[in-house]
Structure 1
């Protein structure tokens, strides 16, 4: 049997330069290492020559870790192969993943530890856990009692594990908006911007949502949060959020905004949060959407901030945002998404295009960081394999600045299911409803954003949004789902198989509901989906968040019962 060539072996990420030599080599040989920071200057830059011996030349310890990761992946594929040379480096110095742990689903420590190890195996080196109210802040027990939150001890333990795997665990606490859980509590209600209705990007919402920037208690609360986070993180980076504060100026700060202007009030408050960060030894990062949409905000913000330019669609205006931050001489990271929230199976086409665009544009602007975000809107009901599939693309793009993950490499190195075809199957499942997301039917609707059509059918972002597709289109989607159900990959890991089948069941139920609403037979199976959701939740997530997540299904159950009996 001929030994394989390095060019044909599926690796994740794929090395930039890999060339086979004439002889053969044994991957299990001892690895000889030397460092050459003078000639190897790019992030994680290293060379590997594997022939009679295996010689690694690395820029630094991070580069050595990357080289060893490549060799470890090779050892899973073969014992012997053609001798080879590799010259590789990372496009982005910081390759990160941000996981939402505030929308009901807080991972168990066991699951978090497995995530850290998997991130390291894909050459990520940065992790954030998104907090709104799920960190156990001392003195604020009334907010997190009963949630089984992340504690300082948990963070210390996770931080040590991250450090040992070459990953920076950065702090993350939204410090302006997305704080309804805090501000709904009587002890903190006085800090809210408003408890009334306000417009949230075209839709009416009920407060509370954001802190009142004019109340001195707002910054006092933030200082307390950040001081407690600083005490349990070795990293000096903190993501202070401050995105989507659509209610600013609609309530308590209305007079202040009328007097000084929205941009002044926003930038003064966020700048004050940045000053708190500096006081306690943090470097602040912030979601840049508000500042980018109000140009004078950027001019008023401190110089020492990092702007996080986020967008989750193929056409997200990354370049426009980076242009503004460059003109301001403010450091920037590029932040695409996994496209898995507000879905049961992800949005494959949007994910691929969004991540690839972010990597290419971020590379062209020489961004130092790439942060892949994974949110948990409406109960965080997407299953872990859906997120994991997207993580693989993020890993490849963050390393290369261009390429996405090869499905065969994902099967081997991410799912540990070689030759299963799982990654390609998940990609097909994530595009089962693509025709309705892209509005290819005759309804003349805009493309559906931030949601799959299947999820939108059950949980529209707003009741005023039009329905999508007629019975013909939905029957076509059902046929796609039936075809996929007939070729579900054979998997070795029972939990992954159950999660994959649950994702398929949820998709089929959503499709059947759409068909029922358009004159078809009654949809069935929701009770089984709820039962399976409860069972799967306990496998990777802490129990207390389950009730709130399941409530989205029970509310749907009541609504569908009303529809079928009225």
Structure 2
């Protein structure tokens, strides 16, 4: 049996219980609605309909004096005793029970268990091209339930939610509908997962600010320069009443449909704040004060829907003097996606300031095709350790989709698994536990191991990067060089991989390909995963060839590279349909077509 996350104590006993003895549940202390919830959960665990019995039963579910979310589970040859203080604890006990069942038998055992952190969450980015289908989201919720997560967010910026007050922005259909959201929410609630609404309303507003009717709401309408490239405007002017009116209207389109008591306002990365229209006021009173004033004006709207506001902390963490001015109900989320991010410093400061906080780590899958495995493991371990140490609320494992969301979902699974391990029982969060559970998710052990191995390729590039990779940089700079060959070559000069490291990568990728070709006899789920791994590997090999071409200035290689990129796009379109809404495909594919355009111009000019 594999119990995951590992319980705090497990005492194996002699004998087994035949599940045929379990026909009824006897509840003591649970409300009628709680009993209904747990009866549905029991039905899923035992794969049969059970009933409630008012008389003593072979399965007793007792409300007891235990910590929140804790449970005590005893399985004997005579029956099952389950004790918990609340519905969450009882639900998690049933999840453990489901992992214990072996055919028609349950081994006799005594388990006591409780999580290290009260909130264990995952954030899925549904706003960078890829909006998963409802079926995909439900499948993810099923796995999160198995991992004892209790918090899920769907990150929204731009037009990935059905804003009914703005029908003009919904023309392409690449959004989650209100009906889908409500259905998913109930599905999550049945699994003791809080679907927390999420929407940006300060930075990350580029899609809105590109529209003519909202351009003037921007802090810098003409755009700004950052990270070596000119970018479209992304931040609202916090002094313009129209900014608050726009975001309030968006809140009114989303919050009434949510049962959660929380709302993630985001408010991260308002890059232009204090550089444009608000510069004079920011210079006068401070950038942090302007941030807080605007944020609090919208937090009041959030509270009017009986929800507790959450914000990312990247702005205010650098202004510790401002923390005292935050409302006491605000939840501060400190985020860092590299293994050495200073959670130890930031969370200690937040704890001393008396602020409720969470820490956000990441799957590290974005802008890299597979994952940066060491940063995934390191950031999750770092966030969990310091959140436990400084008594924070919990952790959030984020899964972003920068640059076209070109990574496939299975590469995010290891981060989901390890986040569950570290958030529940940190002392038993071992990396070797990832592969067996991942094998269940992808329905093949060889594919699971290949996912993990493909997620480490960046170690061979010759240089550590906390964002992206040298191979992926060709995609990044094809977009941000305005597809001009001269600018592209200039930006790529610092991304050339040395000959020895290119050889290392080639041998690594050839080995992955040989392993993948030998995997056959697969279930439909595993067959899809194999296709995703094959296409990811094909793109990595093509990007390596692109890097070699640039290093050697052999531009006669461009025809082969373009042909391979076009083959990737054809397969990408086929795979996209299996998990996601079709409307976002063109935006995802645009990152590759931009690279093709640059390569065609390079060939013409050579």
- TM-score for both structures, normalised by structure 2: 0.85
Contact kept in structure 1, 2:439 and 2:448, CA below 8 Å? no
Between 1:388-397 and 1:472-481, the stretch displaced more is 388-397
Contact kept in structure 1, 2:496 and 2:551, CA below 8 Å? no
Counterpart of 2:27 in structure 1 is none
Output one character per residue of 1:402-429: Cα deviation in whole Å (capped at 9) or x when no partner: 4045134323442233xx2333221111
Instruction: Report how far residue 26 of structure 1 moved.
Output: 4.2
Change (3 A) 1:230 1:81: closer
Output one character per residue of 1:119-144: Cα deviation in whole Å (capped at 9) or x when no partner: 11221111111111211212212223
**How do 1:305-320 and structure 2 match up within 5 A?**
305-320=330-345
Instruction: Report how far residue 531 of structure 1 moved.
Output: 0.5
Is 1:18 matched with 2:10?
A: yes
Contact kept in structure 2, 1:392 and 1:414, CA below 8 Å? no
Counterpart of 1:505 in structure 2 is 538
Is 1:410 matched with 2:437?
A: yes
Counterpart of 1:526 in structure 2 is 565
Work out the CA distance in 2 between the residues paired with 1:301 and 1:100.
27
Between 1:138-147 and 1:214-223, the stretch displaced more is 138-147
**How do 1:78-227 and structure 2 match up within 5 A?**
79-80=104-105, 83-133=108-158, 134-200=160-226, 202-227=227-252
Work out the CA distance in 2 between the residues paired with 1:320 and 1:43.
29
Contact kept in structure 2, 1:46 and 1:88, CA below 8 Å? yes
Work out the CA distance in 2 between the residues paired with 1:376 and 1:233.
24
Pick the aligned partner of 1:427 from 441, 452, 456. Answer: 452
Work out the CA distance in 2 between the residues paired with 1:129 and 1:500.
25
Change (3 A) 1:32 1:219: same
Listed as ranges, the gaps of 5+ residues in structure 2 are: 23-57, 481-487
Work out the CA distance in 1 between the residues paired with 2:389 and 2:20.
38
Is 1:456 matched with 2:484?
A: no
Instruction: Report how far residue 196 of structure 1 moved.
Output: 2.9
Output one character per residue of 1:465-513: Cα deviation in whole Å (capped at 9) or x when no partner: 6114212211111101111211124442321221121122122222222
Counterpart of 1:483 in structure 2 is 511
Work out the CA distance in 2 between the residues paired with 1:332 and 1:546.
36
Pick the aligned partner of 1:469 from 497, 505, 513. Answer: 497
Instruction: Report how far residue 33 of structure 1 moved.
Output: 2.8
Answer 1 or 2: which has greater helix percent: 2
Instruction: Report how far residue 16 of structure 1 moved.
Output: 2.2
Listed as ranges, the gaps of 5+ residues in structure 1 are: 1-8, 440-446
Change (3 A) 1:326 1:171: same
User: Runs ≥4 in structure 1, deviation > 6 angstroms?
Assistant: none
Pick the aligned partner of 1:300 from 316, 325, 344. Answer: 325
Change (3 A) 1:42 1:61: closer
Is 1:49 matched with 2:66?
A: no
Change (3 A) 1:204 1:298: farther
Work out the CA distance in 2 between the residues paired with 1:358 and 1:70.
25
Work out the CA distance in 2 between the residues paired with 1:37 and 1:382.
45
Structure 2 SS opposite 1:340:
coil
Pick the aligned partner of 1:553 from 569, 589, 592. Answer: 592
- Count of residue correspondences: 545
- TM-score for both structures, normalised by structure 1: 0.91
